[in-house]
Amino acid sequence: MKIKKNIALSDTGFVFDPSTGNSFSANPIGMEIIRQIREGKTQEQIAEHILKTYQTDAGTFEKDYHDFLNMLNRFRLTENIQ
Amino acid sequence: MKKLQYERPVIQKLNTGLTNKFGTRTESDPVTHIDDLAVEKLIAQFGSPLFVLSEQTIRSAFRDASRAFKNRYPKVQFAWSYKTNYISAVCNVFHQEGSWAEVVSGFEYEKALANGVPGNKIIFNGPDKSENDLKQAITNDSLIHIDHMDELYMLKDIAAAANKKPRVAIRVNMDTGIFPAWDRFGFNYENGEAMEAVSKICNDTQLSLVGLHCHIGTFMMSTSAYGIAAKKLSEFALNIRKKFNRNIEYIDMGGGFASKNTLKGSFLPGTDASPTFDQYAEAICESLLNAGFTQENLPLLILETGRALVDEAGYLLGSVISNKRLSDGRRATIMDFGVNILFTSFWYDHKISPAQSFGSHHEDTVLYGPLCMNIDMLRENIPFPPLKKNDKVVVHTVGAYNMTQWMQFISMRPAVVMIGTDGKVNLIRRRETIQSIQHEEEMPLYLKNFKL
């Protein structure tokens, strides 16, 4: 899973796809995950970081992570969908 | 280092051009307490889902309605509509405030008596009164509102056999300028059927005609319809006086005032669209005062409003069972309460608030109940913050009809508590158990055993 290279991310949670002109809004944890995927982190590394930083458990995060990746795919923000 | 509060990662597409002058996030403010009691604690103590009623809100609504009418008209009496919410503790709050009882079945009649309402302060409405119901009502000197000719004749026979002269009113339906006109209750005014019924009563010594009643509709957003109804009933009362020299002691305007709920498809939220008690009172009282009654013959005004008095006092607390993604990408959240206990979700877009704090992001969400039925949908589309399993929500304005029209279907009906004016919480209806259902069943002997 890779985030498309040309996707623009703002500090305040806006995501812009210049190839389609679509804009998106993500919450802070969503932005953190997008940035980490873009940096090439694996799911395990991302989960480790989230579990260390936030009050959640591995099962909850795993469910939410996969749901979030599905939404990135649905919005065509990932490379493997192009 | 203390860990940060977790929120499910969310991303959503931003759509431009879809303007909404009301904004989109009005329902996302968390409601963590009801009358200063924590939602979490109420659920921990009484389970989820849970109906909660605020006694303070009931009394405030009643006093507001009472003030609106009594400031405009000298003789006003409220009668609590049992079918709206007949949990005894709720009824008794209204009785403590001075309400009589308005019932529509033998069952409700028994309930009112059991609550301690004197028989002569019970108004017996409805199309289905059995012979035994009528005998009891006659014995107790209750006000019997005749719905149809069969009832009129049956009542005459029962009264003659008992050698009593019951106090009766007739139920009158009429054109009040609304569509569809409710013409199923009572006798029609315009086609002369109502006068025919009055004539049958007044030309007979067995019944004593003391009142006129109407029930023009439900969730009535138009106050002018009440103004028209009050005008027509007043004219009718004056005509009866002229024709039969019979004084009509009271005019009962029935119920039907809208609560602050939002009807499905409504452009404005109910809080903005529904008339106030003052607006209803103005329309009704103006018609009565200008009808031409003399001061001493001014009829008592009876009001049977239910929904508008109790809806805002009711809350349904519930918990998230699960989140899922529908095939078109929409978020769906499954709650532990469904349309079986929140019957009114078929016609209202109930306001639903999360009961814990969230970040600023939200997602368009479909809220489903737990029933294994496709119709079990609570909100088709609600902008909601990311909820996770076991998060709590508060459904607002559920005090009317849900605790009477609820169904025991698939699961048991939940407990109902009332937060008293002293801030203490009282259990007023226990959560049902399997025994509540099994107790009424019988098993034929030959079906007792089987081998699998």
B253 with B402, same domain: the answer is: no
Q: Is residue B22 part of a domain?
A: no
Give start and end residues of each alpha helix (H) in A1-82.
28-38, 43-53, 58-74
Q: Is A68 in Cβ contact with B6 (below 8 Å)?
A: no
Q: Which is more confident, B56 or B265?
A: B56
Q: Verify whether the Cβ–Cβ distance B386 to A27 is below 8 Å.
A: yes
Asked whether residue B411 falls in the same domain as residue B430, the answer is yes
pLDDT range class, residue B15, cuts 50, 70, 90: confident
Quote the crossing angle between the two packed helices A28-38 and A58-74, to the nearest 10°: 80
CA B129 to chain CA centroid, Å, is 21
Interhelix angle B149-162/B193-202, rounded to 10 degrees, is 10
Domain assignment present for residue B9? The answer is: no
Query: Mean pLDDT, to the nearest integer, of B2-12?
Result: 89
Least confident of B78-82, B232-236, B240-244, B356-360: B356-360
Average pLDDT, chain B: 94
Adjacency order of strands within the sheet including B11-13: A8-9, A14-17, A22-26, B11-13
CB B62 within 8 A of CB B69: no
Residues B206 and B74 in one domain: yes
Q: Is the pLDDT of residue B147 over 50?
A: yes
What residues of chain A lie within 8 A of the CB of B11, using their CB? 15, 24-27, 30, 34, 68, 71-72, 75, 77
Residue at a domain's end among B310, B343, B377: B310
Asked if the model's pLDDT at residue A12 lies above 90, the reply is no
Contact between A28 and A13 (Cβ < 8 Å) = yes
Crossing angle of helices B149-162 and B131-139, in 10° steps, is 50
Residue A17 contacts residue A7 (beta carbons within 8 Å) = yes
Mean pLDDT of B373-392: 92
Q: Are residues B386 and B255 in the same domain?
A: no
CA angle A61, A67, A72 (to 5 degrees): 120
Residues in chain B: 452
Q: Between B299 and B4, where is the model more confident? A: B299
Residue B173, domain member (yes or no): yes
Of A24, A29, A75, which is closest to B7 when you measure between CB atoms? A29
Q: Is A25 in contact with B14 (Cβ distance < 8 A)?
A: yes
Q: What is the mean pLDDT of residues B386-411?
A: 95
Looking at this protein, which amino acid is placed at residue A4? K
State the best of B8, B322, B364 to mutate against chain A, taking most chain A CBs within 10 Å: B8
Q: What is the mean pLDDT of residues B383-397?
A: 93
Cα–Cα distance measured from residue B412 to residue B329, given in angstroms and rounded to the nearest whole number = 33
Q: Which residues from chain B sit within 8 angstroms of residue A33, using beta carbons?
A: 9
Would an 8 Å CB–CB cutoff place B10 in contact with chain A? yes
With b meaning 16 or more CB within 10 Å and e meaning fewer, what string describes B70-88?
eebbeebbbbbbbbbbbbe
CA dihedral B416, B420, B426, B428 (to 10 degrees): -40
pLDDT at A11: 86
Range 310-369 of B in CB contact (< 8 A) with A: 323, 325, 329, 359-361
CA distance B41 to B46: 9
Is residue A41 one of the residues assigned to a domain? yes
Q: Please list every residue in chain B whose beta carbon sits closer than 8 Å to the beta carbon of residue A68.
A: 8-11
Any domain includes A35: yes
pLDDT tens digits along B169-219: 999 999 998 888 788 889 999 999 999 999 999 998 899 999 999 999 999
- Give pLDDT, residue B26: 52
Say whether both B106 and B77 belong to one domain. yes
Is B59 part of a structural domain of the chain? yes
The letter for the amino acid at B138 is: I
Shared domain for B301 and B360, answered yes or no, is no
In a domain, B42, yes or no: yes
Residue numbers of the domain that contains B317 = 33-52+312-437
Q: Identify the domain boundary among B310, B334, B361.
A: B310
Confidence tier at B21 by pLDDT (50, 70, 90): low
Q: Give the pLDDT band (50/70/90) at residue B19.
A: low
Residue pair B188/B173 in contact by the 8 Å Cβ criterion:
yes
Number of folded domains that form chain B: 2
Q: Are residues B319 and B306 part of one domain?
A: no
- Proportion of chain A in helix, strand, coil states, percent, rounded to 5: 50, 15, 30
Does residue B303 share a domain with residue B384? no
Same domain, B362 and B302: no
Question: Does pLDDT of B31 surpass 50?
Answer: yes
Nearest-Cα distance to chain A for B45, in Å, is 25
CB B253 within 8 A of CB B214: yes
Residues 6+ apart with CB under 8 A from B76: B66, B69, B70, B300, B301, B303
The pLDDT of residue B358: 81
ipTM confidence score: 0.94
Q: For chain A, list residues whose CB is within 8 angstroms of any CB belonging to chain B.
A: 13, 15, 22-30, 32-34, 50, 52-56, 60-61, 63-65, 67-68, 70-72, 74-75, 77
Q: Using a pLDDT cut of 90, give the percent of chain B over it.
A: 85
Same domain (yes/no): B342, B302:
no
Closest-CA distance of chain A to residue B9, Å: 4
Which of B282, B310, B338 represents a domain boundary (last residue)? B310
Q: Is the per-residue pLDDT at B95 higher than 60?
A: yes
Distance set, CA A43 to CA A36, A69, B3, B85, B120 (Å): 9, 11, 20, 53, 74
Q: Is the CB of B6 less than 8 angstroms away from the CB of A26? A: no
Q: Tell me: do B102 and B39 sit in the same domain.
A: no
> Does residue B219 form part of some domain?
yes
Q: How many domains does chain A have?
A: 1
- The answer to the question of residue A63 being in a domain is yes
Minimum mean pLDDT range among B19-23, B107-111, B319-323, B353-357: B19-23
Assign residue B239 the CATH number of its domain. Answer: 3.20.20.10
How far apart are alpha carbons B83 and B124 in whole angstroms? 12
- Enumerate the residues of chain A whose CB falls inside 8 A of the CB of residue B13: 22-24, 75
Q: Does B33 reach chain A within 8 Å, measured CB to CB?
A: no
**Whether residue B274 sits in one domain with residue B143:** yes
B451 part of a folded domain: no
B26 domain-assigned: no
Q: What is the pLDDT of residues A18-72, one digit of tens each?
A: 989 999 999 999 999 999 999 999 999 999 999 999 999 999 999 999 999 999 9
> How many beta carbons lie within 10 A of that of residue A31, not counting itself?
20
Query: Could you tell me the pLDDT band of residue A81, with boundaries at 50, 70 and 90?
Result: very low
* Paired tokens of B408: 């025991």
What is the residue range of A65's domain?
8-77
pLDDT of amino acid A82 = 39
* Cβ neighbour number for residue B330 with a 10 Å cutoff: 14
Residue A64 lies in a domain: yes
Parallel, antiparallel, or unpaired for β B100-103 and B122-124? parallel
